[in-house]
Amino acid sequence: MSEPVLPLGGASYSGLVTVSEHGPIGQVTFRGDLSSEAVKAAIKDVTGRDVPGLREVSGDGDTCVIWMSPDELLLICGYAEAGGLVDALTEKLAGEHVLAVNVSDARAAFRLKGKHVREVLGKLAPVDLDPAVFTPGMVRRTRLAQVAAGFWLLDQETAQVFCFRSVSEYMFNLLKTVSDPQSAVGYYSA
Amino acid sequence: MSTRLASGGRLTNRSKQIEFSFDGKRLTGFEGDTLASALLANDQMMLGRSFKYHRPRGLVASGSEEPNALVNLGKGDTHEPNQRATTTELFSGLEATSQNHWPNLDMDIGAVNGLFSRFLTAGFYYKMFIHPRPFWKHIYEPFIRQSAGLGKAPKAEARDPDTYEHFYAYVDVLVIGGGVAGLQAAKAAGEAGAKVLLVEQTAHWGGRAVVDGGTIDGMEAEEWVKTTLEALGKMDNVQVRSRTMGAGVYDHGYILCYERVRDHAPLAGGPRHRMWKVRAKQTVTATGAIERPLSFAGNDIPGVMLASAVRDYVVNYGVSVGDRTVVVTNNDDAYRTAIALKKAGMDVPVIVDARQMGGGALMDEAKALGIRVETGRGIAKVKGGKRVTGVTICNQQGEGAMIEEIACDCVAMSGGWSPVVHLWSHCGGKLNWDDAQAMFRPDHDRAPTSHDGKPFVTVAGSANGYLGLKDVLEDADTAGKSVSGSSAMTDAPKAENAEEKPLEPVWLMPQGASYDLRMKAWLDYQNDVKVSDVQLAAREGYESVEHTKRYTTLGMATDQGKLSNINGLATLSNALNEAIPQVGTTTFRPPYTPFSMGAIAGEARGDIFQPIRKTPMHQWHMDNGAEFEPVGHWRRPYCFPKAGESKHDAVMREVRATRDSLGLLDASTLGKIIVKGSDAGKFLDMLYTNMMSTLKPGKCRYGLMCNENGFLSDDGVVARIDEDTFLCHTTTGGADRIHAHMEEWLQTEWWDWKVYTANVTEQYAQVAVVGPNARKVLEKLGGMDVSKEAIAFMEWKDGTLGGYNARVYRISFSGELSYEIAVPANQGRDFWDALLEAGAEFNVTPYGTEALHIMRAEKGFIMIGDETDGTIIPQDLGLHWAISKKKEDYLGKRAQERLHMADPNRWQLVGLETLDGSVLPDGAYAVGEGYNANKQRNTQGRVTSTYYSPTLNKGIAMGIVHNGPNRMGEDIPFMAVDGETIIRAKIVNPVFFDPEGAKQNV
């Protein structure tokens, strides 16, 4: 099997921040009772990560578990590992009421890097990006302009944005537009 | 004449000259000028004409309250109408033109309206144009539209070259207004540790205090402003933005601010405007106050200005409005203008003070400067046409008999001050009438409240009705501390209130003015509303200020009555003999001043105007000439015309090629929702009208979904993956809606059912491989058995095809041998290419949505959105076979049992064939006998979808007809779009093609 095809073939742009299509990455949607010990144990066992708290991410950029809703997680792993992860979770949680499904191709991901990363996101998402409020390890499921999206901070200057594959081109053009080098707001970086 | 003074102008830089043009004339100003001050410096007093009478209009104010000085700015792509000269910072190359006149500003035909002003009174339009009724639409309205409007609309082909953006900010305290009150409030809140954003609509800080003077903490006001700004700059938790207007206050502390990033420097890069969407826990409105005009005859003649504005132009820009200025006032503040003018070396022949006793210390100071003061007097009338030439003085208590005529070229008027309560009021803040100061002031006990019932807006300074410097600063300090929860024991900055005598309300000058004078006493300059108009409205029975506003158009112009509202309602209350608070104010609505459309749109223009969803094969469609149609946010190929081929011909070719050999459809957009859990079967039995729980793993079943009112909402094929798991296909447009529908039922009603859903629509690319050679092409790709025995009709299997991981569904929407194949989205394009390559020998033909629609119509399959429109139940469409009789319940069942739903008279689905083989018009009605109560022709049915069938070589249609299924073979009349031509069509079985299903079951 050849290398997975990225929605935009690995597009990138450099302005207020660098915007680069990220991936391929493995993505698994998991739904279940996040407070159950069995679920916690299985997630830990299979991913090596804890079940994250409300609006949090556990792990690092390439392998992590993202809180998506009170009963949903997104597991990020290597592209080739997603199928095995689904199988392992399904097996470990046989008899439990859960759902695990490989959605690696359903979403596009972008990495935003640069000191203006908060401002760039702040032009598109109704989210408080104050460094004291939104810190690395937190995630927001929200919208960027007109489409559903989510993002988390890997560090103070790096964010990962995800959205559905079909709107990846819109998302890239959007991020590019608001990263125009002459459009700094001077709010978070002031 | 108005001119630049030899020196002065705290905001202008005289070493930097700037060229600009007005009505084509090349003029110069200085850096720091506004367009208004630069025009005045060039003796351009008259700037436009009024809306109704086309009266000459000049500057009245110096800020955002200006009603008259509206110009067209820029040209071509950058042309913008109705831009206020007073808030337009001058830049090199600025091009402005005046508005609302023809043929030119000086000589205007429309001014003839003024001669008939006696007849163009309040409500004129309503009274004049109401009869005869049909005239409105065909004669009056087109004429009025011609003559209405101020600035020119941009040309249709103009394209704004600038960019715009939005920005979301979250703060503890938003302070609106950068005068001394705003600065102090921000400082107090900042010192308490709150996260503060301070915005100021102009480019400069300090508001009126820096013009009017005063001492704060031992410093000149200007020095204190500078020091305070520096202190704010050092606080990490405080941000300040100039050129940013607090535009609107909305529920729960949501505030819109409008930043004009580079209107003053159009050649700079970056966005032109930025719309701030601020969530503030607390907002302080330190929005200052606006001076009121006085209502005397001729108060609209160019050269009559607010006293504070005359002062601003001298102090801020070193510009004098005239050589001889008569000051007319009912309060002490206007004396400051006389003093400033005198000190700048100009003449003030007289101060006309309507108060019998005159003023206090400021009056003494003026007198000491040698200025004559006339108390108890008023202006009877201003002389002049396009420019003030003089005034006649009268007794304020009289009817306007002239005592004296005084030559002058400027009149500086002051009727007192009105706090800017707009932002306080946007979200429900209430006002009290302050009799002593003759102003509406915010009522702190009735503040705008948030979700918790607690106030989220606090008002400070002059906006709160405090006009003395000491009061302003103390109020602002208290406001800043209270919104930040500060318990600091620090004192407010030290300042003194100037000693002033109280004002005396003057709503008409002289108070007994005759009708002729009242007819020339303007309230609303832009819309031409006079004292006499409001009085007429009152006589005609208008008691509500809101009704009077609409009847007279008072305060309805682009300035939203910033100068006219209080004078207008005071006039109304006098006419009604009611107290002002009883009459009340009109509603203050956002935005505070108009902002650009670009700022509202933000980044959404060009290729990011709207998100367009694209499948993995979209680029192939683009490269191969697809004509697209929108389906939800997707763009799906409608057909793929070859060079020189019409769309119709392409569709015909695609249908024939598919029926004859092999067609491909990009079906990736269809919704795919996984439903899993031990209660999944039970859940789907409730969602679908038919039974899903009995479906065996490996099998597919077509199902219908209704909403709780029984109406057909979506359809699609359900595949059972395993004991606990189903995959539900939805329509393209229904994917997100149906997923939300499922989640809503699961989360609100059946929260204890063990079911999870996941929308995996975008995980897969899906291709329909359709036609007699469908199996052959898949066998050629190889990898799994796709024979009839291995995958029978309505079965699915996982496997590989040509090396691609595939899930193969044997389903058909065309009546042909057909497979739908899902592969991971990232491989979608490769798989499509592989099918094209393998299919070449079978004349493989990609087809679009129109061919899809025709093929399904030939088979009599219904289409959500064609045969359904939100009023159709499955029973209307003959889908009884898909409605389970065994199930106790499903969504919509109860509704479908209601009398109207079970009525045998409901129109029913049938096929339709025209007698002459032509195509019925879409949506055409089958007409019945006679007419209904509304004199409309009775109807007995309508066309729901209609096509030319290349398979059958004739027009085919589906429709719903009264008693349709019982009238097979009958021909009924359909009305063409022209409303005259009758087209006869025969009622037939809706399955036109291969009713036995022989072709798909091979």
**How much is the pLDDT for B147?**
62
Interval A164-184 mean pLDDT: 98
Interval B768-784 mean pLDDT: 97
Residue A84 has pLDDT above 80, yes or no: yes
Interval B130-154 mean pLDDT: 72
Residue B125 has pLDDT above 70, yes or no: no
Claim to verify: residue B275 and residue B343 sit in the same structural domain: no
User: How large is the C-alpha radius of gyration of chain A?
Assistant: 17
Claim to verify: residue B326 and residue B411 sit in the same structural domain: yes
pTM attached to this predicted model: 0.94
Q: In CATH, what number is assigned to the domain containing residue B516?
A: 1.10.10.1100
Cα separation, B404 vs B427, whole angstroms: 49
Contact B905, B962 (CB under 8 A): yes
In a domain? residue B199: yes
**How much is the pLDDT for B134?**
76
Cα separation, B394 vs B517, whole angstroms: 12
Cβ contact B269–A182 (<8 Å): yes
Contact B212, B288 (CB under 8 A): no
A residues 130..149 contacting B (CB < 8 A) = 130, 133, 145-147
**How much is the pLDDT for B813?**
92
Contact B388, B411 (CB under 8 A): yes
Compute CA B362 distance to the chain's CA centroid, rounded to the nearest angstrom: 47
Interval B492-509 mean pLDDT: 95
Cα separation, B484 vs B493, whole angstroms: 18
Task: Give the containing element (helix H, strand E) for B483.
Answer: helix B469-483
Contact B817, B1002 (CB under 8 A): yes
The 10s digit of each residue's pLDDT in B694-705 is 999 999 999 999
**How much is the pLDDT for B259?**
98
Percent of chain B whose predicted confidence (pLDDT) is above 90: 90
Query: Pick from A140, A181, A177: which is nearest to A159 by CA?
Result: A140
- Chain B residues inside the 8 Å CB shell of A97: 677-678, 754, 756
Instruction: List, in sequence order, every residue forming a beta bridge with B629; answer none if it has no partner.
Output: B636
What DSSP assignment string belongs to B576-624? HT--HHHH--PPP-S-SS---HHHHHTT--GGGSS--B--TTHHHHHHT
Q: Write down the residue that tokens 């420097």 correspond to.
A: B265
Claim to verify: residue B932 and residue B879 sit in the same structural domain: no
Work out the pLDDT band at B515, boundaries 50, 70, 90. very high
Query: Pick from B584, B572, B574, B633: which is nearest to B432 by CA?
Result: B584
Work out the pLDDT band at A35, boundaries 50, 70, 90. very high
Residue B140 has pLDDT above 90, yes or no: no
Contact B287, B112 (CB under 8 A): no
- Non-local CB neighbours of B940 within 8 Å, separated by 6+ positions: B907, B926, B927, B928, B961, B962, B972
Interval B757-781 mean pLDDT: 98
Structure token digits, residue B540: 């005609």
Candidate from A99, A173, A178 with C-beta closest to B758: A99
- Non-local CB neighbours of B157 within 8 Å, separated by 6+ positions: none
Interval B485-489 mean pLDDT: 91
Cα separation, B266 vs B162, whole angstroms: 9
**How much is the pLDDT for A189?**
63
Instruction: List, in sequence order, every residue forming a beta bridge with B718; answer none if it has no partner.
Output: B701, B728
Interval B263-269 mean pLDDT: 93
Cβ contact A180–B269 (<8 Å): yes
- Non-local CB neighbours of B697 within 8 Å, separated by 6+ positions: B720, B721, B722, B723
What DSSP assignment string belongs to B803-835? TEEEEEE---SSSSSEEEEEEEGGGHHHHHHHH
Contact B769, B819 (CB under 8 A): yes
In a domain? residue B138: no
Please tell me the CATH code under which domain A12-183 is placed: 3.30.1360.120
Candidate from B165, B169, B615 with C-beta closest to A187: B169
Residue B136 has pLDDT above 90, yes or no: no
Task: Give the containing element (helix H, strand E) for B663.
Answer: strand B663-666
How far from A28 is each of A60, A76, B102, B964, CA to CA, in Å?
16, 7, 68, 51
| A99 and chain B in contact, CB less than 8 A | yes
> How many CA atoms, within 13 angstroms, populate the side-chain half-sphere of residue B670?
23
**How much is the pLDDT for B99?**
85
Structure token digits, residue B337: 């203008």
Distance from CA of B167 to the nearest CA of A (A): 4
Interval B419-447 mean pLDDT: 96
- Non-local CB neighbours of B426 within 8 Å, separated by 6+ positions: B248, B249, B250, B448, B588, B589, B590
The 10s digit of each residue's pLDDT in B305-341 is 999 999 999 999 999 999 999 999 999 999 999 999 9
Claim to verify: residue B839 and residue B953 sit in the same structural domain: no
Mean pLDDT of chain A: 96
Which of B856, B889, B922 is the C-terminal boundary of a domain?
B889
Claim to verify: residue B395 and residue B441 sit in the same structural domain: no
What are the φ/ψ torsions at residue B219 (nearest 5 degrees)? -110, 155
Interval B817-845 mean pLDDT: 98
Query: Pick from A101, A112, A76, A106: which is nearest to A166 by CA?
Result: A106
Interval B880-897 mean pLDDT: 95
| B168 and chain A in contact, CB less than 8 A | yes
> Which letter does DSSP use for residue B437 in this model?
T
Claim to verify: residue B436 and residue B457 sit in the same structural domain: yes
| B897 and chain A in contact, CB less than 8 A | no
| A101 and chain B in contact, CB less than 8 A | yes
**How much is the pLDDT for B290?**
97
Query: Pick from B64, B189, B845, B817: which is nearest to B487 by CA?
Result: B189
B residues 587..646 contacting A (CB < 8 A) = 602-604, 607-608, 610-616, 633-634
Work out the pLDDT band at B117, boundaries 50, 70, 90. low
The 10s digit of each residue's pLDDT in B632-679 is 999 999 999 999 999 999 999 999 999 999 999 999 999 999 999 999
In a domain? residue B95: no
Claim to verify: residue B467 and residue B320 sit in the same structural domain: no
Which of B889, B922, B947 is the C-terminal boundary of a domain?
B889
Interval B785-793 mean pLDDT: 96
Q: In CATH, what number is assigned to the domain containing residue B770?
A: 3.30.1360.120
Cβ contact A104–B764 (<8 Å): no
Q: Mutation test of the interface with chain A: which of B254, B608, B619, B635, choosing the one with the most A Cβ atoms within 10 A?
A: B608
Top pLDDT among B49 and B778 is at B778
3-state secondary structure of B56: strand
Percent of chain B whose predicted confidence (pLDDT) is above 70: 97
Structure token digits, residue B618: 């979209």
Cβ contact A166–B634 (<8 Å): yes
Claim to verify: residue B210 and residue B329 sit in the same structural domain: no
Interval B533-554 mean pLDDT: 92
Residue B133 has pLDDT above 80, yes or no: no
In a domain? residue B344: yes
**How much is the pLDDT for B111?**
66
Is residue B637 reached through a cis peptide bond, with omega within 30 degrees of 0 on the bond before it? no
Residue B744 has pLDDT above 90, yes or no: yes
Pairing of strands B351-353, B325-329: parallel
B725 class by beta-carbon count within 10 Å (0-12 exposed, 13-18 middle, 19+ buried): middle
In a domain? residue B989: yes
| B172 and chain A in contact, CB less than 8 A | no
Query: Pick from B480, B446, B445, B448: which is nearest to B461 by CA?
Result: B480
Distance from CA of A171 to the nearest CA of B (A): 8
Compute CA B929 distance to the chain's CA centroid, rounded to the nearest angstrom: 47
What sign results for the dihedral spanned by CA atoms B355, B358, B359, B362?
A: positive
Containing structural domain, residue B941:
904-1002
Cβ contact A166–B239 (<8 Å): no
B43: left (phi over 0), alpha (psi -120 to 50) or beta: left
**How much is the pLDDT for B104?**
74
Is residue B590 reached through a cis peptide bond, with omega within 30 degrees of 0 on the bond before it? no
Query: Pick from A120, A92, A185, A112: which is nearest to A155 by CA?
Result: A112
The answer to ipTM > 0.90 is yes
> In this complex, how many residue pairs, one in chain A and one in chain B, have their CB atoms less than 8 Å apart?
133
Number of domains in chain B: 5
Work out the pLDDT band at B113, boundaries 50, 70, 90. low
Cα separation, B729 vs B714, whole angstroms: 10
Distance from CA of A106 to the nearest CA of B (A): 4
Cα separation, B55 vs B525, whole angstroms: 9
Q: Determine which of A129-133, B129-133, B708-712 has the lowest per-residue pLDDT on average.
A: B129-133
Which of B833, B854, B889 is the C-terminal boundary of a domain?
B889
Query: Pick from B232, B225, B560: which is nearest to B423 by CA?
Result: B560
Cβ contact B269–A177 (<8 Å): no
Structure token digits, residue B759: 């929308």
Claim to verify: residue B797 and residue B845 sit in the same structural domain: yes
A-chain residue closest to B668, CA distance: A166
Claim to verify: residue B818 and residue B952 sit in the same structural domain: no
Claim to verify: residue B949 and residue B983 sit in the same structural domain: yes
**How much is the pLDDT for B141?**
72
What are the φ/ψ torsions at residue B836 (nearest 5 degrees)? -65, -40
Longest dimension (CA), chain A: 56
Contact B545, B586 (CB under 8 A): yes
Structure token digits, residue B641: 């015309």
Cβ contact B274–A126 (<8 Å): no
Mean pLDDT of chain B: 94
Q: Mutation test of the interface with chain B: which of A29, A97, A173, choosing the one with the most B Cβ atoms within 10 A?
A: A97
Query: Pick from B825, B665, B699, B808: which is nearest to B761 by CA?
Result: B825
In a domain? residue B617: no
Query: Pick from B751, B756, B674, B744: which is nearest to B707 by CA?
Result: B744
**How much is the pLDDT for B116?**
63
Claim to verify: residue B280 and residue B324 sit in the same structural domain: no
Q: In CATH, what number is assigned to the domain containing residue B370?
A: 3.50.50.60
| A34 and chain B in contact, CB less than 8 A | no
Q: Write down the residue that tokens 């007995």 correspond to.
A: B940
Cβ contact B166–A123 (<8 Å): yes
**How much is the pLDDT for A41?**
97
Domain residue spans of chain A: 12-183
Query: Pick from B539, B999, B949, B633: which is nearest to B815 by CA?
Result: B999
Cα separation, B64 vs B420, whole angstroms: 11
Pairing of strands B818-824, B804-809: antiparallel
Look at chain A and count its residues: 190
Q: Write down the residue that tokens 């439990």 correspond to.
A: A96
Cα separation, B791 vs B779, whole angstroms: 13
Query: Pick from B89, B50, B55, B54: which is nearest to B70 by CA?
Result: B50
Structure token digits, residue B645: 């081929």
Residue A1 has pLDDT above 60, yes or no: no
Compute CA B364 distance to the chain's CA centroid, rounded to the nearest angstrom: 52
Contact B225, B204 (CB under 8 A): no
